[in-house]
Chains A and B, each alone.
Chain A
């Protein structure tokens, strides 16, 4: 069915009215000129009368014909200005040339298998078919991407062969689709196209979540696009909630036994979740199961693949798998899922740092070698001591006076427990004091990447701490006052505010009921207050409070110093003196009987401090890779992508341009494909690395952005109409694959033809007027 309309964005009836009004112009001119005659008194009137009698019929006919032509001319011109168009159901290869823009959703939800092919493959095939069916002289431009829309070409839009090849070369990205970005890009591309017949094809599975997340922007974009082009949604999925695929996704891989060590079995917890539906798509009844395998590098782990039980939608299962690493350093652990419909998130890579034992130095200002239980670090030391041989923490205690600067090199984390700061007074030293040299060396080491934990005690003097540590930048916040709630006077003690635990690693303590004694059974009688900056004075996230007391005073404060981190506790870690004096307790949280949280707290904290300083080698798709060069020599950097492409990276730049002495890092953005990326450094004298280099360089694991599979339900035409406020043309993938485009409405502009008609009418009118000797 053919309907006519106009490109001019006004009502067609208004245009028709304008044409009718314009037709009155020649009529008005006709009557105007008829009123502009001259009077001629004439004697030979009988001749005039006779001549008129002979010619009047012909003249009247000519007059009428000319008037009609003139009316027709202006009417055609008015309609031509309104850019007339016809809309028809376009058959294959029929109609006017089309400027088509193909928008491809390359999010990994497109990897759902529909029959033998994935949605993405079906969309690619459909796109190629549609290109084949475009009318002659059509152009195609392809926009593709997930979060970021890119115009991928072709450079010559009329080169349809190149367009087809580009479509076939498109790759999946492991991010959710931002359709608004695609439409915005399409608008820009379409606005540059001059042809009147513009079509926008969206090849997508039309996930409801993709629309719901950005509905206002999408509505706005589509409203604008509707004015520019005819929009066709080519849905590569079977629409509707009942058609959601069965999908298992890997939420994460966590080493279960602390820090992996070489040649030892390391256990990993792999969290698997059902983000799809629970029944088999084909039988619609039987819950499906999958299995999971673990790989280290390219080698499958020695443990057998773990079968998964049938999971209800949203249900999680933790699967334990183990692997061994042959050496220290960064290793890639890969979990592979099998048995679901969506391939895109079936692989999960995780880079682990396999290390030998990590040594911890505890500097105790109240160290009793003979009676260690009297030492201020006694409880802490015992909390850090490995229970199993496989654990890698190796704490060592030295007294403050024996803490030599050279010691620091051997240790990853330094604990200052109840130490006194060096005094300015000459010879005024005691055993609790540490040396200035030690502090200077410590500050240097922290800035280079080591961690420091400061735990106060009776030897802690706020002024001295502020003076010594504060000057070196090693104090997260200046200490203010020492607070003592007298137990004898039955002054109220404090407890921890469990909900204030802000570090993600402490989440389990915040959420699990087992740690509720932190709030109920803990008593803090002595602590230091700090001069906490008000919110607006805080600069970035350099300092943060990880936990607070019940009265909101900070209990654990952290601060990044250079590449390292300093953590300050405002109360003691040794609250229970072993001998008598229960009245002078600082607290009871370090008493393992009372506080179940003491040991896990230190375990988590130390693991965090050890691992947080590792390069960020586990990223989600779309995040920027930041590589810390290990050599100061002038080097070049290349990135090997999971697709074995080599990309030259820019030269290192300051990690934080606002900070002085910020380390220089190499950045790589646009990592939209999940998999293992490797940063390879090479010297100018070397050959540029080729893509064949497989396992060299620093690995970084990029995992799929899980947001894309949270809701795999695809929209039906009704859903779309409800959400968008209009009913877009949805072309079923089967029809597109058949090249059956009859449901695609095609516009054909007739302006040129109208102008040609106007020219012909004008010429006819001129000729007739000349022949008849008639002009206005």
Chain B
């Protein structure tokens, strides 16, 4: 059910905190976000001398009366931003059952973020990928867009393997306006290549938020007994006793997480590790609260 992804409690908790772009993003509409485009708006910023070509509507006549010089009043323009949600729909997102299924979890997160963005009069676009673009919904600020997103997600089935880095480059090249990029994925990709893509986006001025969706089993490997692990993305399988390799596995995972986190931090990207074993509302609320606190906005 498409409406399953629109979970009121998640939306409600996130809405209370709002989603603000931490850095300056360009927007089509005046919104809550600082815009690099200064214009004539409510928020006065400075005066400057009139030069021919300026709109005479912006001449501050009171200042002319005092100084007989033509000055123009400048205001900071609050603009709306464009959010690009990149949703990983590769096979590795298939792991987990029920609410802990990574893809399902990611879908709920996608809808929550989309709703949040649109609700604060910003625009959001959805890009579903695996090892290439699977489906892309253009950016829109209309509420009806949410419905489109919901329908899209409803039919979404995982396939193929994860390959994020080329897509990030592609996205960086395609978008002209700086915006907010939400990457929702388990990031089972090469960390260095992923960092290249992120770096490219950052170079283009995008703010990048990585929602790293992982199942608790993938972090802790709590399985017991004799288990045959069958690769969801690779054609590999291994028969082993998880309890025997657990410490080694956890070391490998922790190193990977640290590498990922350090790389993103270097590129001044947000990183949120979302454990699907934990309710999304809590994880998202925690993230938004942290972002609010750190971003100071």
The answer, yes or no, to whether A50 is at the interface (CB within 8 Å) is yes
Chain B min CB distance to A64 (Å): 14
Binds A, one of B72-80, B120-128, B223-231: B223-231
Interchain CB contact under 8 A, B252 and A42: no
Chain B contacts with A in 231-282, Cβ cutoff 8 A: 231-234, 236, 238-241, 243-246, 248-249, 251-253, 256
Q: A34-B239, A773-B244 are in contact. Are A47 and B228 (CB under 8 A)?
A: no
Per the bound structure, the CA–CA distance linking A449 and B246 in Å amounts to 110
Per the bound structure, the CA–CA distance linking A62 and B229 in Å amounts to 21
Q: A37-B226, A38-B225 are in contact. Are A43 and B232 (CB under 8 A)?
A: yes
Per the bound structure, the CA–CA distance linking A59 and B218 in Å amounts to 21
CB contact between B95 and one of A42, A50, A62 (< 8 Å): that residue? A42
Chain A contacts with B in 27-44, Cβ cutoff 8 A: 33-34, 36-44
Determine which residue in A34, A44, A54 has the highest number of CB atoms from chain B within 10 A of its CB, and name it.
Answer: A44
Q: Of all chain B residues, which has the CB nearest A62? A: B244
Q: Mark B51-65, 1 if CB is under 8 A from A, else 0.
A: 000000000000000
Neighbouring A residues of B251 by C-beta, 8 Å: 51, 54
- Interface CB pairs A-B, < 8 A, 18: A37-B225, A39-B230, A40-B229, A41-B95, A41-B231, A43-B93, A43-B215, A43-B231, A44-B188, A45-B236, A45-B238, A48-B229, A50-B252, A51-B246, A52-B240, A55-B245, A62-B244, A774-B244
CB contact between A36 and one of B223, B226, B230, B238 (< 8 Å): that residue? B226
Per the bound structure, the CA–CA distance linking A773 and B221 in Å amounts to 14
Neighbouring B residues of A37 by C-beta, 8 Å: 225-228, 239
CB contact between B226 and one of A34, A51, A59 (< 8 Å): that residue? A34
CB contact between B245 and one of A39, A44, A45, A52 (< 8 Å): that residue? A52
Neighbouring A residues of B92 by C-beta, 8 Å: 43-44
Q: Of all chain A residues, which has the CB nearest B240? A: A52
The answer, yes or no, to whether B130 is at the interface (CB within 8 Å) is no
Interchain CB contact under 8 A, A51 and B218: no
The answer, yes or no, to whether A614 is at the interface (CB within 8 Å) is no
The answer, yes or no, to whether A472 is at the interface (CB within 8 Å) is no
Neighbouring B residues of A54 by C-beta, 8 Å: 245, 248, 251-252
Neighbouring B residues of A772 by C-beta, 8 Å: 244
Per the bound structure, the CA–CA distance linking A774 and B245 in Å amounts to 11
Interchain CB contact under 8 A, A47 and B95: no
Neighbouring B residues of A47 by C-beta, 8 Å: 218, 249, 252-253, 256
CB contact between A45 and one of B94, B227, B233, B248 (< 8 Å): that residue? B233
The answer, yes or no, to whether B102 is at the interface (CB within 8 Å) is yes
Interfacial residues, chain A to chain B (CB-CB below 8 A): 33-34, 36-52, 54-55, 59, 62, 772-774
Neighbouring B residues of A774 by C-beta, 8 Å: 241, 244
Neighbouring B residues of A33 by C-beta, 8 Å: 226
Neighbouring B residues of A43 by C-beta, 8 Å: 91-95, 102, 186, 188, 215, 218, 231-233
Per the bound structure, the CA–CA distance linking A49 and B256 in Å amounts to 14
Given contacts A37-B227, A39-B227, 7 further A-B contacts (CB under 8 A): A41-B232, A43-B186, A44-B186, A44-B188, A47-B249, A48-B249, A59-B241
Per the bound structure, the CA–CA distance linking A50 and B249 in Å amounts to 7
Neighbouring A residues of B238 by C-beta, 8 Å: 45, 48-49, 52
Per the bound structure, the CA–CA distance linking A411 and B80 in Å amounts to 165
Of all A-B residue pairs in the complex, the 10 with the closest CB atoms, nearest first, are A43-B92, A51-B249, A45-B231, A51-B248, A37-B226, A51-B245, A42-B229, A773-B243, A43-B95, A54-B248
Per the bound structure, the CA–CA distance linking A687 and B102 in Å amounts to 114
Q: A38-B225, A40-B223, A40-B228 are in contact. Are A45 and B234 (CB under 8 A)?
A: yes
Determine which residue in A36, A48, A774 has the highest number of CB atoms from chain B within 10 A of its CB, and name it.
Answer: A48
Neighbouring A residues of B248 by C-beta, 8 Å: 50-52, 54-55
Chain B min CB distance to A33 (Å): 7
Per the bound structure, the CA–CA distance linking A438 and B133 in Å amounts to 153
CB contact between B240 and one of A41, A44, A48, A50 (< 8 Å): that residue? A48
Per the bound structure, the CA–CA distance linking A47 and B218 in Å amounts to 9
Neighbouring B residues of A46 by C-beta, 8 Å: 188, 234
Neighbouring B residues of A39 by C-beta, 8 Å: 227-228, 230
Determine which residue in A39, A45, A49, A55 has the highest number of CB atoms from chain B within 10 A of its CB, and name it.
Answer: A45
Per the bound structure, the CA–CA distance linking A37 and B95 in Å amounts to 19
Neighbouring B residues of A50 by C-beta, 8 Å: 248-249, 252
Chain A min CB distance to B101 (Å): 11
Per the bound structure, the CA–CA distance linking A62 and B244 in Å amounts to 10
Neighbouring B residues of A44 by C-beta, 8 Å: 92, 95, 186, 188, 218, 253
Interchain CB contact under 8 A, B232 and A45: yes
Chain A min CB distance to B74 (Å): 53
